[in-house]
Structure 1
Amino acid sequence: MPLDAAQCRWMPHRHGQNRPRRCMVGAMNLVERLLNRMAPAYRAATGPEGPLTTPPARTPADRDVLHYSTVFRAVQILETSIAGLPLRQLRDGVEIVPQLPIISRPDPNRHRSEFVRLTVGDMVVRGEAFWLKLRGLDGTVKGLRVLPASLVSITDLSGDPANPWKQYGYMGNVYRDEDILHLPFVSIPGRLHGLGPVEAGRAEINGAMDARDAKAMWFDEPAQPSGILSTDKMINDEIATNTKQRFEKNMKGVKVIGGGMTYTPLLLSPSDMQYLETQKFDTTLLSRLFGIPPKLMLAESGSSLTYSNVEQEWSQFADFTLNAYVQPMKDALSMVIPRGQTIDFGWDSFRRSDTKTRMETYKIAIEAGVMTVDEARSRENMPPLGGSQEGTNTDEA
């Protein structure tokens, strides 16, 4: 006989799943009466339109990673390294002097070095930076301003992740795509926001901070940690309860344990956790995450470095780490200067590690006719000698 759906009931399962119970048409048995009694409670639990939606689990707010010394050191190194690079305005490979005001001082209210540091800091911590174009009365871009990335939202008005039409929100203001320069550190297809090392390595950073906090508990927590009171003697429940209560009442004072009892804390000591070894490993791990040579992070690299190795390490640091932050800034600055001109950062201080090597390189370039004396002097931030001194060879008799 076919079943009538109107006469069937649903019965809550003990594991939280609802399973149908077969029912016979026209049969009012004990099971049906029980189901009828349970129906109001089931309707209250499910709501008028089906099961109630379970709210998502709350996740703890991210801790301020800059309060962890290794991350702070990494951010400081990256900001200082890039802010100190000379900035050049070029046309057909030839430097233009003097520079436009928007290049020499992008934000009229800040020095250029501070402007660069703010940009790099947001790219490291937030994975992206935002520059607001400051326009003059004629509509041309006269300056740039760094907007805190944590306060900027992005909306795609096109609905097409492959070709988004971005709209930005900041402090209640809405800006069009042509009003904002977006500088993502790592771009991922379909993702509106950039991805940076702090967000990508959040689990590793939190783990390192947890190890630091666990060590600090031994010095900051005045009370004894949770533990076990044990004895080799037979005791009843009353003695065990009384001993536990007396022990817990005196959490911060001197403890006196009798009856052959011993206290074993349920907390690893710094030596048991191998904290020093863990700290060294975490520093090396974060050096790799931020792309910074371990020596700069005061981490043990595990290998001896020769002069040539150090020079190669600095060159790789410039090419694969610093350039990842510099390239978006170069592209963005090149968009606010006249067509046909470009922006470049000078890397001489990173790719030639000492004065002797730089001077030898200049000499070879001058003798080969690739560079003039004044061009070499400008690289060293020195004034030109003038036409009479150009190409003078001091070795001539």
Structure 2
Amino acid sequence: MSLFRRSSIEARSSNDGWFSIFGSGKGLDGSMKSALRLVPLYAATSLIADSIAIMPCSEYESTGGSKVKAKHQSPLLLDPHPAATMTRIEWLHQYTTSFLLRGNAYGLIVAVDTAGVPSKLAWLHPDQVTVDESGSQPKYQYKGKDLDPSTVVHIPWYPVPGSVVGLSPIGQFRRMLETGSSAEQYGADWFKNGSTPSGHLKYNKGSLTGSDSAKAKARFKAAVSNNDLFVSGSDWDWEALSVKPNEAQFLETIKATANQIAAIYRVDPSDIGGEAGSSLTYSTLEMNQIKFQTRALQPIFTRLEHHITRLLPDFHYMKFNPDALVRTDIKTRTEVNKLNLEIGLLTQDEGRELEERPILTDKQKQEWLKNYGKQPTAPKEETS
């Protein structure tokens, strides 16, 4: 066997198998849902998946050196999900979730249009896909059945040399995730089972037998179970016991786990329950959105752009519009649009389209020119 080629079993066990990531651990079992119970992990992956799912994308055409939006958008971009009840938003969310949690997204072409261009693409559950890399070309199976390689769209996150299967981003941090999961489980057990007593009820006139203590405890609990008042004579003292900071160390562990997960997915720790240690004293929402877009989103949606472009007709390509997620205030946006119009970067119609406003009719354009437009001035005659 070659140094870089592996059998399907080896590839599955080392790269994309969720069970290989968490199966031997005690804190998490082998399901995606179990892993997502870890709040910082759910927060990070859902933040990225939701952002990409709502991002506008279109099909463009490159002809004669110019790039324009295609007049007829492919169904693969408009409505790619094979289920009638699902939209492009859910389709993009499925892709991103599989990509983030497994490091691989496996798509299956299930329909083509009259021109032979794929029109429907179903994302397969990555845990049910196996890849045999022992031959010259990878072979794919889904639920034990062979797939036609020409119908498979495989997008890996972190493929190592000699393999087409991507490494799972969280699989490389198994110990850290199990620590975070154990900390949350410890906290839940602590508050549920009362590993620290809630208080001390003391009888000041001697000792009590076991049965007397049990009766007193039952009466006291019955009285205060609904935050009711407990009335007694001078024989009893009640002292509430608070949790010491050093006994709540699991909270600090959860914060540390959130910071590590934030580093894996390149998001701001404060967005997923961690603590940002930045020394910057000033930042804007726009700057934070641009940073998030560049680091966390762009590497993911750019991969999808390239793979979908390979399925489109020649000279056609898919392009996301991440700028739509970066919302500035109205004044700044207006100034930017004005500048783009003046330097010829945008036409008036393109600027109105960005603002989701209808294109002006010829009559409206003439009216605008009459009231606000600059009429060209006639050149001055030269004098001798």
**TM beyond 0.5:** yes
Aligned residues: 297
CA distance in 1 between partners of 2:162 and 2:131 (Å):
13
State whether residues 167 and 177 of structure 1, in contact with CA within 8 Å, keep that contact through their aligned partners in structure 2: yes
Match of 2:126 in 1: 149
State whether residues 49 and 93 of structure 2, in contact with CA within 8 Å, keep that contact through their aligned partners in structure 1: yes
Match of 2:60 in 1: 90
**2:95 paired with 1:119:** yes
One-letter code aligned to 1:124? L
Per the TM alignment, residue 289 of structure 1 is displaced from its structure 2 partner at its CA by: 1.6
**2:264 paired with 1:289:** yes
One-letter code aligned to 2:160? I
Pair 1:100–1:178, CA change in 2 (3 A): same
Instruction: Determine helix, strand or coil for the equivalent of 1:115.
Output: helix
Counterpart among 304, 307, 310 of residue 335 in structure 1: 310
Per the TM alignment, residue 126 of structure 1 is displaced from its structure 2 partner at its CA by: 0.9
Coordinate RMSD, CA, aligned:
3.1
Match of 1:191 in 2: 163
Per the TM alignment, residue 310 of structure 1 is displaced from its structure 2 partner at its CA by: 4.0
Structure 2: segments with no counterpart, 5+ residues: 1-22, 198-209, 219-242, 375-384
One-letter code aligned to 2:264? L
Instruction: Determine helix, strand or coil for the equivalent of 2:139.
Output: strand
Counterpart among 77, 86, 101 of residue 47 in structure 2: 77
Per the TM alignment, residue 378 of structure 1 is displaced from its structure 2 partner at its CA by: 1.6
Match of 1:128 in 2: 104
**CA deviation string 1:65-118 (max 9, x = no partner):** 101111111121111100111011111221113411121011232210000000
One-letter code aligned to 2:162? G
Per the TM alignment, residue 375 of structure 1 is displaced from its structure 2 partner at its CA by: 0.7
**2:293 paired with 1:318:** yes
**CA deviation string 1:274-313 (max 9, x = no partner):** 2333332222222122111234224332347666554333
Pair 1:224–1:73, CA change in 2 (3 A): closer
Identity score, percent? 25
Per the TM alignment, residue 136 of structure 1 is displaced from its structure 2 partner at its CA by: 4.3
CA distance in 2 between partners of 1:353 and 1:143 (Å):
35
Per the TM alignment, residue 132 of structure 1 is displaced from its structure 2 partner at its CA by: 0.3
CA distance in 2 between partners of 1:83 and 1:75 (Å):
12
State whether residues 166 and 176 of structure 1, in contact with CA within 8 Å, keep that contact through their aligned partners in structure 2: no
**CA deviation string 1:323-349 (max 9, x = no partner):** 121012111211111011110000113
Q: Which has the higher contact order (CA 8 A, sep 6+)?
A: 2
Greater helix share, structure number: 2
Match of 1:59 in 2: 24
Instruction: Determine helix, strand or coil for the equivalent of 2:153.
Output: strand
Pair 1:206–1:354, CA change in 2 (3 A): farther
TM-score normalised per structure 2: 0.69
**2:180 paired with 1:205:** no
Structure 1: segments with no counterpart, 5+ residues: 1-57, 159-163, 226-245, 255-267
Pair 1:343–1:202, CA change in 2 (3 A): same
Instruction: Determine helix, strand or coil for the equivalent of 2:110.
Output: strand
Per the TM alignment, residue 182 of structure 1 is displaced from its structure 2 partner at its CA by: 0.1
CA distance in 2 between partners of 1:355 and 1:299 (Å):
32
